Each structure stands twice: as C-alpha cells, then as structure tokens.
C-alpha cells in the first residue's frame, strides 16, 4: 500500500528506479539502473550526493533490455484507419493509431499523407497537430507529406491526377497544402523544376526534406542535398534502380559530394517484402549511420486479409502483402515497427544495439530532436521500452509512465516497492 508521505509527493517529483535491467546508451547495452523523475531520465549521482534521497518506487525489470522508444517517420495509418482518406474522422483515426502503436514500442511518429487532392490537405493538415504522448497514445511529431510533388513515372500507389509541379515555387507549396504549420517532413522528387529553391526555403523553416518517388539521377540528388535535403524516402522503392554508370538516389549513400559534417539519412522498409534481405545488407554495410527503419504501414496493419484503403485507392491484402486492388503493385506495409526491427536484425546480423538505434536514435537525429528523443541520456524524455533478447515488447513507457504492458510479460505487483521519503 502507498504510504501516506509518498501520497503527498507530487507524482512528477516521485523518483522511480528501474533496477536489474540492461540499458541502451551510447551505442552499447550495459547493466545499469535507470532513474526517472518528472518525465525525464536523470543522473542518479546528483540524487545520491546532492539531494541524498532514495527512490520512491523501485521496479525490478528481471534482466529486461531498456531501449529508447521507437520513432516511425513514415506511417500512413493502421487498424482500419487511413490518414489520407478518412478526412471527416481524421482526429479520432489518428488517436486510434496512436494508441495502437504503443503495443509495438512506438513512442513517437509522423502520420503520413500520400498524394491527395488539394482539398484533402486543406481539411486534414489542420487537424493533425503535434501532441505529447501518454496513455492515450504515442507522441505526434508532425505530419510527413509524401507527395504530391513527385514523379509520375515512380508514383507507386499515388494517384497520377493529383501529382503536381512547383509552377510558382514555394508559393505553390503553400497553396497546395494550405496550413503548413503541422508539417515536419516533405517527400519530393528532386528532378522537378524549381525544386532547389523550394528545398532551400523548407530547410530554412526547419522542415525535413526527403527525396523519393523519383526518376532522379545522382546529380539531382546531390544538388538537393547541397540545398538542404537530408533524407531519402524508402530507399530502393519508387526510385531509379542502381546502375553502375549512374547509381541514382541510391548513390547518395556513397557520394563524395555531400557537404562536410552532413549526414544523409534514408528510410528503409524492413517488412521482409519491400526490400530483399541482400539489399538490406548492402544499405547497412554501405552507410549505417544514415539508416532509419520505417514501417510505411497502411490501414491494413493489424487487420485480417481483405480490402482496405490507402489515400484515393482501394487495396487488397493477400498472402501478407498489400497491393493496389486488381494489380500487383505494392502499396505499403502491414508490419508493425517491432516486427520490422526483428526482421532487420535477422536479415543483416547487425548488433542488437544497432537495430534498436536504427528505429530510435537515427530518426531522432534526422528530425534534430535527439537531445530529448531516441536516447536514454540524462535529461532526455523518459520514453522507452522494456523487451527481452528476442526483441519482444514487455512494456512501453512515455514520460516515465507505463502506457502499455504485455499481459504475458506483466510485472507482478510484488516487484514494485514504495519507500518513505526522507523528509
């Protein structure tokens, strides 16, 4: 039972100690306690020597691994919700997906809109606002708008009639999207006219520019990077295939024209379907520091096989793959993030630490929020997951609060012990 003195302590000021655990920090996993207060990870030395306090709550993790929470930069929906189609119920739809992601270790994400009519952007974008996570769901980091400024030849599951060019430069960008305040990432084809000037303005405003759905050669990609692009959308998919005389956007992974000190990041779909295991190994071995695991999940994630939606298209899920209805064109993944991490780890035989950071630290660095997300460093947000060595999620925590706990791995009440405050 909670002691009376502890009840008087503000919940935000309660010290929580996670013990008997292995934590991921600075690219390695080692045995150390994790201390949390006021939604942040704190340095226990200051507690011991300056405050001379003990933890109010100790949680025995039974040798679990504690990793930073996963961050998904590209997810179109899930659990029957499509962010680009359900315009009248987008707020409740985003909330449903946000809640569902917690079971898969995702503590932050960027809801993604595929190429859509202008009126869809004007209706949807004002309704998907940045929002702190909690028991209600994962943190919303802003919207990823994937199109409509893409290549018709590499449109994939994007409707051709909605694809646009920058007729009036950045003015066109603003006119198409309307409210751009909630946009964090833009995917565009760098070979389109007036793209360099648009990228420059987007970078100035702190919006991440990603190149993709493109026929671009390497020079187009390098020009985009020099103007401020920092990300490649789902590497290998919806772009020119690698060629030894012009490797296209894939060549950015090994280009010597990247400005000094700049990292080109790339999302890669590791669902075991969109990208061959050998291609995963090539990307990992060529440019590991830029690798970001994304799901590119669609409304069918978490559902049975059948007919669903992505943007303006009807899709069919058959044999664990999602296709545009009546075709063999892949149109997104149905694998959740924890499954993608496990698949990537098995395909590349990379260190466990790397697989976890590719879904946490790397996307945080890409968004330039790694001071507070994607890390277990002191002062960072206490967003993390407990898992076993097989990368099976036991529980998910946001701001130091347990927001999901697996029934099969729930911590028994006896391992949580409250202690009297010293004062």
What pLDDT shows up at residue 236?
97
What pLDDT shows up at residue 422?
44
Look up the CATH superfamily of 4-68+381-418: Urease, subunit C, domain 1 (2.30.40.10)
The two structure tokens encoding residue 422: 């010293």
Question: Interior CA angle at 47 toward 45 and 49, to 5°?
Answer: 65
Measure CA 102 to chain center. Answer: 12
What pLDDT shows up at residue 303?
77
Residue given tokens 């002691």 in the structure block: 3
Distance CA 395, CA 18 (A): 13
The two structure tokens encoding residue 357: 């950071």
pTM reported for the whole predicted model: 0.94
The two structure tokens encoding residue 61: 């993790």
Can you say which residues are annotated as belonging to the binding site? 146, 157, 213, 234, 237-238, 245, 274, 330-332
CB 178 within 8 A of CB 126: yes
User: Digits of tens for pLDDT over the chain (423 positions)?
Assistant: 344 444 446 666 789 999 999 999 999 999 999 999 999 999 988 877 777 778 889 999 999 999 999 999 999 999 989 999 878 899 999 999 999 999 999 999 999 999 999 999 999 999 999 999 999 999 999 999 999 999 999 998 899 999 999 999 999 999 999 999 999 999 999 999 999 999 999 999 999 999 999 999 999 999 999 999 999 999 999 999 999 999 999 999 999 999 999 999 999 999 999 999 999 999 999 999 999 999 999 988 987 777 877 777 788 888 778 888 888 887 778 999 999 999 999 999 999 999 999 999 999 999 999 999 999 999 999 999 999 999 999 999 999 999 999 987 766 543 444 454 444
Single out the residue of 84, 73, 76 nearest to residue 268, CA to CA: 73
Residue 187 phi/psi, 5-degree rounding, is: -100, 130
CB 396 within 8 A of CB 403: yes
CB 102 within 8 A of CB 396: yes
296 is catalytic: yes
**At 362, is the secondary structure helix, strand, or coil?**
helix
What pLDDT shows up at residue 14?
85
Distance CA 151, CA 164 (A): 9
Question: Interior CA angle at 110 toward 128 and 179, to 5°?
Answer: 40
- The distance in angstroms from the start CA to the end CA of the chain is 19
CB 233 within 8 A of CB 211: yes
Domain boundaries in the chain?
4-68+381-418, 70-366
The two structure tokens encoding residue 32: 């150390």
Single out the residue of 299, 323, 302, 303 nearest to residue 311, CA to CA: 299
CB 408 within 8 A of CB 422: no
Can you say which residues are annotated as belonging to the binding site for substrate? 157, 237-238, 245, 274, 330-332
Beta strands in 135-277 (DSSP E): 139-140, 143-146, 183-188, 208-211, 231-232, 265-269
- Matching fold, domains 4-68+381-418 and 70-366: no
Distance CA 387, CA 295 (A): 19
What pLDDT shows up at residue 324?
81
Report the half-sphere exposure of 193 (CA within 13 A, side-chain side).
Answer: 7
The two structure tokens encoding residue 195: 């793209």
The two structure tokens encoding residue 380: 């960072």
Bond from prior residue into 148 cis (ω within 30 degrees of 0): yes
72 sits in which H/E element:
strand 70-75
Measure CA 207 to chain center. Answer: 16
What pLDDT shows up at residue 411?
63
Residue 166, CA distances (Å) to 17, 72, 170, 193, 264 in order: 53, 28, 7, 7, 24
**At 28, is the secondary structure helix, strand, or coil?**
strand
**At 106, is the secondary structure helix, strand, or coil?**
strand
Annotated catalytic residue within 82, 296, 381, 383: 296
Helix, strand, coil percentages for the chain (3-state, nearest 5): 30, 30, 40
Question: In CATH, what class is 70-366?
Answer: alpha beta
């Amino acid at each position: 039972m909670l002691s009376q003195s502890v009840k008087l302590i503000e919940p935000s000021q309660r010290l929580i100690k996670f013990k008997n655990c292995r934590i991921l920090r600075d690219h390695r996993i080692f045995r150390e306690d994790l201390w949390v207060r006021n939604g942040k990870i704190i340095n226990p030395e200051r507690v011991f020597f300056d405050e001379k306090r003990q933890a109010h709550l100790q949680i025995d993790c039974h040798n679990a691994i504690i990793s930073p929470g996963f961050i998904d930069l590209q997810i179109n929906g899930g659990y029957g919700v499509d962010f680009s189609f359900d315009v009248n119920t987008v707020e409740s739809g985003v909330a449903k997906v946000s809640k569902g992601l917690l079971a898969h270790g995702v503590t932050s994400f960027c809801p993604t809109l595929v190429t859509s009519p202008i009126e869809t952007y004007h209706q949807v974008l004002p309704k998907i606002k940045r929002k702190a996570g909690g028991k209600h769901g994962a943190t919303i980091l802003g919207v990823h708008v994937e199109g409509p400024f893409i290549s018709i030849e590499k449109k994939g599951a994007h409707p051709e009639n909605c694809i646009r060019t920058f007729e009036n430069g950045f003015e066109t960008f603003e006119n198409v999207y309307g409210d751009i305040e909630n946009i964090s990432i833009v995917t565009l084809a760098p070979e389109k006219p007036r793209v360099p000037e648009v990228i420059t303005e987007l970078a100035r405003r702190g919006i991440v520019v990603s190149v993709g759905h493109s026929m671009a050669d390497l020079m187009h990609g390098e020009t985009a990077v020099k103007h401020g692009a920092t990300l490649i959308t789902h590497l290998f998919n919806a772009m020119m295939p690698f060629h030894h005389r012009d490797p296209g956007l894939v060549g950015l992974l090994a280009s010597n024209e990247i400005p000094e000190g700049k990292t080109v990041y790339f999302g890669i779909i590791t669902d075991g379907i969109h990208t061959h295991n050998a291609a995963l190994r090539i990307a990992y071995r060529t440019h590991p520091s830029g690798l970001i695991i994304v799901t590119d999940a669609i409304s069918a994630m978490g559902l049975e096989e059948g007919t669903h939606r992505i943007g303006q298209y009807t899709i069919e899920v058959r044999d664990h793959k999602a296709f545009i209805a009546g075709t063999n064109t892949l149109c997104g993944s149905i694998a959740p993030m924890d499954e993608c991490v496990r698949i990537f780890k098995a395909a590349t035989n990379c260190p466990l630490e790397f697989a976890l950071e590719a879904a946490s630290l790397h996307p945080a660095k890409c968004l330039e929020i790694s001071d507070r997300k994607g890390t277990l460093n002191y002062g960072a947000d206490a967003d993390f997951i407990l898992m076993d060595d097989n990368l099976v999620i036991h529980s998910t925590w946001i701001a130091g609060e347990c927001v999901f706990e697996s029934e099969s791995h729930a911590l028994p009440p006896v391992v949580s012990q409250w202690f009297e405050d010293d004062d």
